[in-house]
A = this chain, B = another copy of it.
């Protein structure tokens, strides 16, 4: 089985997830600065999730760049990843309206954590399937970024019950780790 249809389907789902979130950004009732400002938390949570889904699309793109053939397990692991990603519009919407409450912040982090774990599983299955193919394995390397992300997500999730701003900073930190690659890191670990 070739990977191109899997990529096309994933692209479709990711494109819809990233765009559907904007439907939560309701136009303010009145044309005033005050009303516009009140949409700011929802807007910022949209920006945040857009960046996250963008990073996932980016990494997914890199991962399947090196993957030519797929099997049934890879299809399932990919659907599993898409499932957790598809919940981002829901967790984003709750976060945007309640960014100072522990539960929505924790749930947002939990979904990010599950996405990361699902990505890990998918990556592992792909490496296993291409074991002779050392290019992919080398490219992913020790995946230090991926492992650090998991730890920070768990920290953010737990800290949300103490202070939600620290949690949000944790989630931002992970996004920054993936957005600002230093060359050396990029070469060794994607």
Contact = CB atoms under 8 A, between A and B. Distances in A.
Interface of A: 1, 5-9, 11-20, 22-23, 25-28, 30-33, 36, 47, 50, 54, 57-58, 61, 65, 72, 75-76, 79, 82-83, 86-87, 89-90, 93-94, 97-98, 101-104, 107, 179, 181, 186
A83 B57 CA distance: 14
Given A20-B23, A86-B22, A9 B9 contact: no
Contacts of A15: 9, 12-13, 15-16
A102 B23 CA distance: 23
A93 B27 contact: yes
Given A18-B86, A72-B186, A90-B25, A103 B9 contact: no
Contacts of A87: 22, 25
Contacts of A57: 9, 79
Contacts of A72: 58, 181, 186
A86 B6 CA distance: 20
The DSSP consensus for interface residues of chain A is helix
Given A9-B57, A50-B83, A89-B23, A98 B16 contact: no
Contacts of A23: 20, 23, 89
A97 B5 contact: no
Given A8-B8, A18-B13, A19-B20, A31 B94 contact: yes
A22 B5 CA distance: 23
Contacts of A11: 5, 8-9, 12
Contact of A31 (B7, B30, B86, B98): B98
Chain B CB within 10 Å, residue with most, of A12, A87, A102: A12
